[in-house]
Amino acid sequence: MTHKAPPTVSVIIPTYNRAHLVGRAIRSVMSQTCQDFEIIVVDDGSTDDTEKVVSSFNDPRIRYYQHQTNRGHSATRNTGITMSRGKYIAFLDSDDEYLPEKLEAQLEVFEHQASRGIDVGIVVTGALGYDDDVGKVVHYNLPMDFRHPYEELLMRKHTCYNTMLVRRECFDHVGLWDERLAVCENWDMAVRVGTKYGYGVVPKPLLIAYEHSGQHVSTTTNSRGEALRLIASKYSAEMKQYPKFGAKLRLNIANDDFQKGLMAEARRQSIAAIRLRPFWYKGYIYFLRALLGTRLYRKIVHA
């Protein structure tokens, strides 16, 4: 008995109550110039007709799996990775779509870099941001070919995770998506891969990211502030090694604290940012705002 060879690419589509949109995402993968793929749709507990829509394609390359309870973005992607068989893993939100040459262009970068002896683990492309409400492209995002990839990744200068194509073995070495993070999990994954592998780019937009109200998959109760603090704990050494990164993260936490009315904590985080970058004016601005409060701060600034 012969066994079918694993596909080159596994495309993971997380979804949650997107029966009206998931078909478009699937069709965009089916229309790829590279046809050596499998599609894994992971449903995070939808209550609509998502399964019916996926089944209507009747293609053996498409597999469907449903979580019995909502588990969140990262858990949904991890389920897909566990089920996947491809040498490379791609991700696509169920309300977005690939342009036809996306996978082929990324695979060519992997092959080209390998021929030069460069151990690339992840290749990203640009993206078009399309606003459904106004019916047009509202922003155009191109990835940068970094001079200092890891530091640039820390500063969040990377494109959205939907454009990623990742070598499967990367997850064996850096781990799966961090399910504790409700936000910033895409950044965390890109940075972790960047610690051990090279980073390749296709300098043109090959994804359409649709902007509209609603969720891609379910969310967890973990707040942005809690996620930022977890990141600060995970990357404490990097915060010291790269002061620009550390100061920026501290001010993001300070801003979250300020929005919650936690002024003492916002001041503490601002001071920590100032210590990391004493000549960066934003640390002092955040400190004054937390010290004086928004109303008094604005009076002084606009006096």
3 state SS of 31: coil
Cα angle for residues 155, 160, 164 (degrees, 5° grid):
110
**Three-state SS sequence of 245-294:** HHHHHHHHHHHHHHHCCCHHHHHHHHHHHHHHCCCCHHHHHHHHHHHHCH
> 204-241 burial string, b = 16+ CB within 10 Å, else e?
ebbbbbbeeeeebbbebebebbbbbbbbbebbeebbee
Between CA 229 and CA 250 the distance in angstroms is 9
3 state SS of 2: coil
Residue 28 identity (one-letter amino acid): S
Q: What is the pLDDT along the chain (303 residues), one digit of tens a residue?
A: 445 789 999 999 999 999 999 999 999 999 999 999 999 999 999 999 999 999 999 899 999 999 999 998 899 999 999 999 999 999 999 999 999 999 999 999 999 999 998 889 999 999 988 888 788 878 877 776 655 667 777 877 555 678 999 999 999 999 999 999 888 888 888 888 888 888 888 989 999 989 876 544 444 444 788 899 999 999 999 999 999 999 999 999 999 998 888 999 999 999 999 999 999 999 999 998 888 876 655 555 454
Q: For residues 197 and 154, is the Cβ–Cβ distance under 8 A?
A: no
Between CA 10 and CA 34 the distance in angstroms is 12
Residue 211, pLDDT score: 83
Cα angle for residues 39, 45, 46 (degrees, 5° grid):
85
> Beta-strand (E) ranges in 142-246?
165-167, 198-211
Domains of the chain in sequence order = 9-211 (3.90.550.10), 224-301 (1.25.40)
Between CA 153 and CA 195 the distance in angstroms is 10
Residue 173, pLDDT score: 93
Of 58, 56, 59, nearest to 23 (Cα)?
56
